[in-house]
Amino acid sequence: MDTFDHPIFTESMRLIREQLGETGLDPLQQQVLERLIHSSGDFGLTPLLRFSSRAPQVGLRALQAGAPILTDTAMAAAAVQPMSRRTLNASVHCMLDWAPDCAPQGSTRTAAGLQAAWQELGSQALGQQQAPIVLIGSAPTALEALLKLVTSGALAPSLIIGMPVGFVGVVESKRKLASSGLAQIRLEGSRGGAGLVAAAMNALFRAAYLSK
């Protein structure tokens, strides 16, 4: 039993694995799925979860190399900071810290915050050779803004965990993410949220720490 294991957590994982059965996922993908189900109680997420080629492994290596984390909500940042402190002590940022007080015309505060944050964090990453990992659980506009920046030549993130929740622009943004060619973990459809992106991120933190 390692320092992350509590008897309730251990039993929860056992029950989840028992109900899931054989998934065909590799071990890191399986850990991400299990944490998503543990956080949501929703086995219906299983067929919606998608990974680009070796995406969890890409995220694990980025974390071990010191990649910062950039989230679209304070809630997601708060949910990953404790695990970050317990494991690799990665810096965690919320793009709203860069957002203007009012949304620009035709955009959102979060998308504007992403653009400003990416300019600052991207320039830092050029020196460190390690781009941020981006968590999108609520703002499809921020996801689309990031994809546009990368398409225009900006630094690509190490990994995108793209799980915006809702109905307006959500499916479209996930479709664009899927076709972007970027390293990604995403949920298809309308489901997502801060809790789920944090759960996926915390699974990677845990794996990266234990495999050091």
CA end-to-end span of the chain: 17
pLDDT at 2 over 60: no
Asked if residues 194 and 137 have their Cβ atoms less than 8 Å apart, the reply is yes
pLDDT digits (tens, 9 = 90+) for 66-85: 999 999 999 999 999 999 99
Q: pLDDT at position 124, please? A: 75
Which has the minimum average pLDDT: 82-86, 125-129, 164-168?
Answer: 125-129
Q: pLDDT at position 158, please? A: 96
Choose the catalytic residue: 12, 13, 17, 38. Answer: 38
For 48-210, the fitting CATH number among 3.30.420.40, 2.60.40.10, 3.40.462.20, 3.40.50.10230 is 3.40.50.10230
Q: Establish whether 6 is a catalytic residue.
A: no
Q: In a 10 Å sphere around its CB, with 0-12 CB exposed, 13-18 middle and 19+ buried, how is residue 135 labelled?
A: buried
**SS3 letters for the chain?**
CCCCCCHHHHHHHHHHHHHHCCCCCCHHHHHHHHHHHHHHCCHHHHHHEEECCCHHHHHHHHHHCCCCEEECCHHHHHHHHHHHHHCCCCCEEEHHHHCCCCCCCCCCHHHHHHHHHHHHHHHHHHHHCCCCEEEECCCHHHHHHHHHHHHCCCCCCCEEEECCCCCCCHHHHHHHHHCCCCCEEEECCCCCCHHHHHHHHHHHHHHHHHCC
pTM for this model (two decimals): 0.95
